[in-house]
Amino acid sequence: LGKQVTLLDRTTSTQEDARQLAEEGAPEGTLVISEEQTGGRGRMGRRFHSPRGKGIWMSLVLRPKQPLHLTQQLTLLTGVAVCRAIMKSAGIKTDIKWPNDILFQGKKVCGILLESATEDERVRYCVAGIGISANLKETDFPEELRDVATSIRMAGGKTINRTELIQTIMAEMEVLYELYNEQGFEPISSLWEALSGSIGREVRVQTMRDSFIGIATGLNKDGALLVRNNENETIPVYSGDILFNT
């Protein structure tokens, strides 16, 4: 993975560039990286702040064989890869907030956006978008993000080598993706649970339809978050957001 790289100076969103390359037949592992995004996108139609030169804004083309409802597993796999790579390359211990935020001491350092193109329930390709506020300073964040976001540089006190971190992420992705293709989701799920800051905590679950409070207990075999509510029922949460209650 990451053997074919397109490096851009400025783009709207690397998600769109990677999607276009995938449509043109680009092989699995094709990576698009940009110094700046003018229309960076997050989950649920949110904007993703991607200023020039200090972050890692990149999108990876994957061509998984799994059916559509299992692509959530790839979001979790990508989170594990990034979390491990940040530890290896920058020595910073982060954890994962379901499904896809990488946090340092409760503040977001990385967001992951996995998008799939389908045809009759079959996945044609996926684009895994990774956005890391690698070397941003506090003043590089807009005011409204300063309480909830941080960077690897702010966490560790020194500028990190972005190229090296990207290479480490690709190496981790490759190992985990191979493990996933050979042994399925179970080993990935265990790794994710060990890195998760969500398990065992009281969370507020916010889905399109409702909102409830419970204790996050683990993942099911699809990658949905299991949350035990006040009636002692365990609910699998397939999509949505969680907020920590305490």
| Binding site listing for biotin | 37, 41-43, 108
**Minimum Å distance from CB 163 to ligand BTN?**
16
Q: Which is nearer to ligand BTN, 228 or 238 (CB)?
A: 238
**Minimum Å distance from CB 110 to ligand BTN?**
8
User: Which segments are annotated as binding site?
Assistant: 37, 41-43, 108
Strand order in 225-229's β-sheet?
234-237, 225-229, 211-219, 202-206, 241-244
Strand order in 5-8's β-sheet?
5-8, 31-34, 56-62, 122-132, 107-119, 101-104, 95-97
Cα–Cα distance for residue pair 166/169, rounded to 1 Å: 5
**Minimum Å distance from CB 59 to ligand BTN?**
5
Contact flag: residue 129 with ligand BTN (CB under 6 A): yes
Binding residue for ligand BTN (CB under 6 A) from 41, 54, 97, 107? 41
Closest residue to ligand BTN, Cβ-based? 111
Which residues between 72 and 111 bind ligand BTN (CB under 6 A)? 111
Binding residue for ligand BTN (CB under 6 A) from 113, 149, 199, 237? 113
Contact flag: residue 43 with ligand BTN (CB under 6 A): yes
E strands, 42-87, are: 56-62
Q: How many CB atoms lie within 10 A of CB 222?
A: 13
Distance of alpha carbon 189 from its chain centroid, rounded?
Answer: 15
Sign of the Cα pseudo-torsion (20, 45, 224, 176, in order): positive
- 25: which residues sit within 8 A by CB, 6+ positions away? none
Contact flag: residue 180 with ligand BTN (CB under 6 A): no
What is the per-residue binding string for ligand BTN in 46-75, x denoting contact by CB under 6 A?
Answer: x-x-x------xxx----------------
Which residues between 187 and 216 bind ligand BTN (CB under 6 A)? none
Contact flag: residue 15 with ligand BTN (CB under 6 A): yes
E strands, the chain, are: 5-8, 31-34, 56-62, 95-97, 101-104, 107-119, 122-132, 202-206, 211-219, 225-229, 234-237, 241-244
Here the tokens at position 191 are 């790794």
In a 3-state reduction of DSSP, which class is residue 95? Answer: strand
Q: Which is nearer to ligand BTN, 129 or 223 (CB)?
A: 129
Q: How many residues bind ligand BTN (CB under 6 A)?
A: 20
Q: Which is nearer to ligand BTN, 134 or 203 (CB)?
A: 134
- Asked if the bond preceding 51 is cis, omega within 30° of 0, the reply is no
Summarize as ranges the residues that interact with ligand BTN (CB under 6 A). Answer: 13-15, 37, 40-43, 46, 48, 50, 57-59, 111-113, 129-131
